[in-house]
Amino acid sequence: MNPEAPLGMFGGTFDPVHHGHLRTALEVLEACRLAELRLVPASVPPHRPQPQAPARLRLEMLRRAVAGEPRLVVDDCELRRAGPSYTVDTLAGLRAQAGGRPLCLVLGADAFLGLPGWHRWPEILQLAHLVVVQRPGSRLAPGDELAAALAGRYCANPAELAQAAAGRVLVCEVTQLDISASAIRRLVAGGGDPRYLVPDAVRGLIAESGCYRMTDGCKEE
Ligand code: ATP
């Protein structure tokens, strides 16, 4: 691993992980020359409804999805922590591991626009850079509070992320894939097949577990 290259974090519920996440992760990793990108499934997401699939299954789907790509690393730190999965706490943990090395928090447009609702969100900019990716159907138009906090922080060149430990914002262009986990859950609940929306290994786990077929959620084993 290149000791100077930034470390990345991409959090989410991954309920389930899909090709929209995976292609985005890979393109950001390469465009920003990250040493590695940690995919961090949330245990108890504070800002949205609770996941349908149990944590163990979401973790296993992620692990199988990235098998064979060593630069995409599944990190279960939020699943091992009690209570709400606050990104600021996860980044503080990563910062303790990374020392002064640059850290990048990857956010889809929807997550980015919701940032001012996050726990201790201004601290996030002290801990990491933001790498924001466009999603089909979302416009990158931050509200006044977010725009004010980010003024002067934008950079155009990914190389600038390696020159500071935190605090910069990069908008990174990625292939636009109009795939969402909620649409996949609806598809499976209606008896549909998520083939080609998710990796085959994830499709297999969805079918085996019967998870998203149950309308009242999936039970922990
Ligand atoms: P749901 O439909 O249940 O809200 P989701 O598909 O948005 O799920 P999450 O696990 O909530 O997936 O998202 C984790 C992160 O991945 C967020 O930052 C989100 O913006 C981003 N993301 C999700 N889908 C895509 C996509 N198709 N393209 C780019 N980014 C995405």
pLDDT digits (tens, 9 = 90+) for 55-112: 999 999 999 999 999 999 999 999 999 989 999 999 999 999 999 999 999 999 999 9
Please report whether residue 1 resides in a domain: no
Q: What value does the mean pLDDT of the chain take?
A: 93
Q: What average pLDDT does the segment 174-188 reach?
A: 97
Please report whether residue 28 resides in a domain: yes
Position 4 scores a pLDDT of 77
Q: What average pLDDT does the segment 135-152 reach?
A: 91
Lowest mean per-residue pLDDT among 116-120, 137-141, 151-155, 212-216: 212-216
Please report whether residue 100 resides in a domain: yes
The CATH number covering residue 28 comes to: 3.40.50.620
Please report whether residue 200 resides in a domain: no
Peptide bond into 54 cis (omega under 30): no
Please report whether residue 204 resides in a domain: no
Q: What is the largest CA-CA distance in the chain?
A: 50
Residue 216 confidence class, pLDDT cut points 50, 70, 90: low
- What is the position in ligand 1's atom list of the atom closest to the CA of 134? 29
Å from CA of 64 to ligand 1 middle: 18
Q: What is the dihedral of CA 191, 196, 200, 204, to 10 degrees?
A: -10
| Degrees, nearest 5: CA angle 26-31-36 | 55
Å from CA of 51 to ligand 1 middle: 13
Specify the pairing of strand 129-133 against strand 154-155: unpaired
The residue written with tokens 């003024």 in the block is 151
- Strands (DSSP E) found in 53-195: 72-74, 103-108, 129-133, 154-155, 169-172
Say if residues 158 and 171 touch (Cβ distance below 8 Å): no
Lowest mean per-residue pLDDT among 2-11, 63-72, 199-208: 2-11
Q: What average pLDDT does the segment 116-125 reach?
A: 96
Please report whether residue 201 resides in a domain: no
Given a cut of 90, whether residue 47 has pLDDT beyond it is no
Which is nearest to 161 in space by CA: 171, 151, 150?
171
Position 52 scores a pLDDT of 93
Q: How many domains does the chain have?
A: 1
Position 221 scores a pLDDT of 47
- Counting ligand 1 atoms within 8 A of each CB, the residue from 19, 23, 24, 57 with the most, and so the one to mutate, is 24
Å from CA of 21 to ligand 1 middle: 6
Spacing of C-alpha 82 from chain mean position: 20
- What is the position in ligand 1's atom list of the atom closest to the CA of 106? 18
Position 11 scores a pLDDT of 97
Say if residues 218 and 209 touch (Cβ distance below 8 Å): yes
Residue 49 confidence class, pLDDT cut points 50, 70, 90: confident
Ligand 1: which residues within 6 Å by Cβ?
12-15, 20-21, 24, 107-108, 110-111, 133, 135, 177, 179-182
Residue with CA nearest ligand 1 atom 25: 20
Position 121 scores a pLDDT of 96
* Distance separating alpha carbons of residues 44 and 41, to the nearest angstrom: 9
Please report whether residue 2 resides in a domain: no
Please report whether residue 169 resides in a domain: yes
CB neighbour class for 155 (10 Å; exposed up to 12, middle 13-18, buried from 19): middle
**Residues contacting residue 162 through CB under 8 Å, at least 6 positions apart:** 4, 5, 6, 33, 102
* Domain coverage including residue 82: 7-178
